A and B are shown apart, each in its own frame.
Chain A
Amino acid sequence: MTRITVTVDGAKYSDDVEPRTLLVHYLRETLGKVGTVVGCDTSNCGACTVHLDGRSVKSCNVLAVQVDGHEVTTIEGLATEAGLHPMQESFHEHHALQCGYCTPGMIMQAIDVLNTHPDPTEEQIRLGLEGNLCRCTGYHNIVKAVAAAAKAPGAAAVSSSKVGD
């Protein structure tokens, strides 16, 4: 067992983990943050996307021990008491989900796209979401939701603390 201390969605946690524990399993099973999901075995689907120190990563392809001392934001850290995050609102507004399985990862990656390209072209949105698969294939509305969110204030904020500022 290895002791790690991690800030997740603004709260600090210290836990003993087996070195082979994947970050996604630490989030889901140790912390109970089941909003982040696993969609594949090959790190292709992006459903498990979270932010590590403000940049998107696939949490099935990171070990929990690697994030010792770092900061993670999951889909559960986006909404505030004031309401949903602007990207969540935009997905809702544009019907950017069907079964919803890819949605947590899509939203986390969509926020990363806006961090990289505050005023993205459609191509930049599509390339930015290249590592996220939607098996319901509802890509068109997802792209529309991201484009619309780009016009909303605060849509690129990477953590709940920043949204409220």
Chain B
Amino acid sequence: MIPSSFEYVAPTSVEDALAALAEAGDEGKVLAGGQSLLPVLRMRLNAPEKVIDLGRVEGLRGIREDGDTIVIGAMTTHDEVANSELVKEHAALLAKATAEVADPQIRHRGTLGGAIVHADPAGDLGAPVLALDAEMVIAGPGGERTVAAKDFFTDLFETAVGDGELLTAIRIPKHTGWGAHYEKFVRVAHQWSIVGVAATVKADGGTISEAKIGLTNMGSTPLRAASVEAALAGKSASDVADACSSAADGTNPPSDLNGDADYRRHLATVLTSRAVAAAAAG
């Protein structure tokens, strides 16, 4: 199928994109890499009158260092994030999770900003961004504001990005030297996560001093496994299973054809212990 008709604009600056968005009001839709939006338009689940393509906006793409932070432009592709030396060194968890998204063709087009704003609970990038305590930079008619990842994901496919606003960048505090692993559970190739666990761990001489864990598809938004994080502090990296047994506490996973909620709760504990062990090993 093909989308219904729409008007297309390709602004070259954030100001022009915001102006186009304001003018279109409810009838406007932002296009980033198109890897989630175009399937939606083709299935006619949405039919905006105006599509505002961010592909030609200056300054939204690229990865740079800013003191203790890595700043990733919203339009940076999954392929660029996964292969960036800066991201691999200072936010290894995000590089590893991004390499697990979809397939190479989709990673060449899809963007970090698009995945985060799309906020599919089975998407792989919410959990690492949440675990790394990232901040989202949002531009709107009133200027720029910054929202912490823990306040950003509000519900299924809902985020703090309001009507008339754009996500411009993702700021990630450096986690230099932290081990990281993204454990994605799927039944067939290039599927969305049934459950995913994003773990990053600071370990000194075989002892975990700090752990941060994000869960994919264990509720309507990405979640932190806070009780596991607390239980892991001071534990030996070779004996993490007990500390990970509470991974499903406070979660509300969906039941669907891939598995019911109880199965997902079980998966969360098993996958968390695998992810933490792998992260602690490097």
Known: A63-B34, A130-B103, A131-B104. A57 touches B109 (CB 8 A): yes
A20 near B2 with CB under 8 A, answer: yes
A131 near B8 with CB under 8 A, answer: no
Interface size on B (CB < 8 Å)? 30
- Taken together as a complex, chains A and B put the C-alpha atoms of A43 and B108 apart, in Å, by 14
Interface size on A (CB < 8 Å)? 32
What residues of A have a CB within 8 angstroms of the CB of B102 in the complex? Answer: 131
- Residue of B6, B51, B106, B190 near A61 (CB, 8 A) is B106
16 A-B contact pairs sorted by A residue (CB < 8 Å): A19-B6, A20-B2, A43-B35, A55-B79, A57-B105, A58-B106, A61-B38, A62-B34, A63-B8, A63-B38, A65-B10, A112-B104, A128-B104, A130-B103, A130-B189, A131-B190
Give the one of A41, A112, A113, A130 with max B CB within 10 A: A130
Known: A20-B5, A41-B1, A55-B79. A66 touches B105 (CB 8 A): no
A65 near B5 with CB under 8 A, answer: no
- Residue of B53, B103, B108 near A66 (CB, 8 A) is B53
- Taken together as a complex, chains A and B put the C-alpha atoms of A21 and B2 apart, in Å, by 7
What residues of A have a CB within 8 angstroms of the CB of B41 in the complex? Answer: 20
Give the one of B3, B79, B104 with max A CB within 10 A: B104
- Taken together as a complex, chains A and B put the C-alpha atoms of A19 and B142 apart, in Å, by 30
A61 near B34 with CB under 8 A, answer: yes
- Does B55 sit within 8 A of A, measured CB to CB? yes
A55 near B108 with CB under 8 A, answer: yes
**Interface of chain B residues 1 through 54 with chain A (CB within 8 A):** 1-8, 10, 31, 34-35, 38-39, 41-43, 51, 53
